[in-house]
Amino acid sequence: MTREYGRELGIRTRAVHVGNDVDKDSGAIKRPLTMANSYELPYDPSVLNWSDAGANLYTRNGGTNQRFLQERIASLEGGEDCVVLASGVAALSGLFFATLNKGDHVVFSDVTYIAVYRLLNELFNRKYGVETTMVDSSDPEKVEAAMRPNTKLVHIETPGNPTLKISDIRRIADIAHRHGAKLSVDNTFASPYNQRPIELGADYCVESLTKYINGHGDAMGGAIIGRKEDLDIIRAQSQVNLGGVISPFNAWMIMRGSVTLPLRMRAHNENAMEIARHLKSLPCVSFVSYPGLEDDPGYEVAKTQMSGFGGMMSFGLKAGHDKCNEFVSHLKIITSAVSLGHDESLIVFLGEDDERMHLYDKRFHNGFFRFSVGIEDAEDIISDIDQALRSAGLL
């Protein structure tokens, strides 16, 4: 029998125990990896609903490792239910596909993950007749002004990728609900350790499990958290009918990685704060965007809705395009790579010709770095930055 772990328990305890139990067949104290794509049918299979996402029929409908992971993520996020899909983009597109119809209107943040920008700014409106409005969601009055009678969804990302722009979840949830719309929040940069949008009034929370929740850069997945009645629709349409199901192996890997989420996030938070302050002190750094800095534009809102400020930041150098790339080439501990939330530090240079640069604040327009601070020793990360700046003739 599955043991119950209530929300009164701490996040570290729930990260270890929710979704886990003793395997009844082997006695193993960890859930096993079940790689089967089919399950034994009952005596009379004609009574079955072949599209049932809650039964062990066929792994596209859902499997045991997926369900265990969903239990854990729902608990960590403070939500009623969770759907886990193949990637963060599968979760985003699955949410939009299942909740939006032709003629509906969506308001969304001007600073979001690139897939959201393309899905809502290009694909859904051109292909499916969904009306979209992109706004600076750090200003709730602009969200309010964009609302229409046919607005069905407001989608924000906070902190926003890649500039770390902060939006007020509580205020925007109130705006959406007063207009009869729902609010979805991409929580990937924060993770449920630092921020839980459902508890702040959001109807949906989206996570790229590939990032902090997995935390080891070796598995992909995405999650949507919300009310069961809403998620049953997403589960049936985006998982069973569109086939966006997560693989059992990835679900098992993310379940394993999520155990240490609270411990890793504490290290990410501490390291990022120390490194942001160090970068800000350097004369060759033109700006640092990190919501934990007291002079950051999003600091006042961030401190009311986040328990920690995360491991992501952006910064610029007083240097040209080639010199910025030269700086990256001299890094030894920090790796130049996309993605984020890994145990190791990752950096990517976004040049002046980025297709969405015009949407960002002017300080970003000369090109900037998106920096995912890892869990290495902070002094080693700082030393690596400094030696690379010196090697590039910037320090």
Q: What is the mean pLDDT of residues 273-295?
A: 98
| pLDDT recorded at residue 3 | 53
**Confidence check: pLDDT of 283 > 90:** yes
Query: What are 315-326's pLDDT values in tens digits?
Result: 999 999 999 999
Buried b (16+ CB within 10 A) or exposed e, 261-274: bbebbebbbebbbe
**Confidence check: pLDDT of 259 > 90:** yes
**From the centroid of its chain, how far is CA 113?**
9
pLDDT band of residue 333 (cuts 50, 70, 90) is very high
**Confidence check: pLDDT of 44 > 60:** yes
| pLDDT recorded at residue 2 | 46
Structure tokens at 353: 């010709």
**Confidence check: pLDDT of 1 > 50:** no
| pLDDT recorded at residue 247 | 94
How much is the CA Rg of the chain, to the nearest whole Å? 21
Average pLDDT taken over every residue of the chain: 94
Q: What is the mean pLDDT of residues 351-372?
A: 93
| pLDDT recorded at residue 178 | 98
| pLDDT recorded at residue 5 | 63
**Confidence check: pLDDT of 16 > 70:** yes
**Confidence check: pLDDT of 365 > 50:** yes
Query: What are 71-86's pLDDT values in tens digits?
Result: 999 999 999 999 999 9
The Cα–Cα gap between 393 and 395 comes to 6
Q: What are phi and psi of 43, to 5 degrees?
A: -55, -45
Please count the other Cβ atoms lying within 10 Å of the Cβ belonging to residue 134: 19
* Omega before 45 within 30 of 0, i.e. cis: no
The Cα–Cα gap between 94 and 90 comes to 6
pTM value? 0.94
State which H helix or E strand residue 281 sits in: helix 261-281
Instruction: For CA atoms 320, 321, 322, 328, give the dihedral sign.
Output: positive
The Cα–Cα gap between 345 and 375 comes to 7
Three-class SS state of 191: helix
Strand ranges, E, within 275-334? 285-289, 312-317
First to last CA, the chain: 61
| pLDDT recorded at residue 63 | 86
Share of the chain above pLDDT 90, in %: 81
| pLDDT recorded at residue 301 | 98
**Confidence check: pLDDT of 134 > 90:** yes
pLDDT band of residue 131 (cuts 50, 70, 90) is very high
Q: What is the mean pLDDT of residues 358-387?
A: 97
**Confidence check: pLDDT of 389 > 60:** yes
| pLDDT recorded at residue 51 | 77
Residue among 337, 355, 354, 356 nearest 345 (CA): 337
Q: What is the mean pLDDT of residues 130-136?
A: 97
Query: What are 206-241's pLDDT values in tens digits?
Result: 999 999 999 999 999 999 999 999 999 999 888 888
Residue among 329, 334, 336 nearest 350 (CA): 336
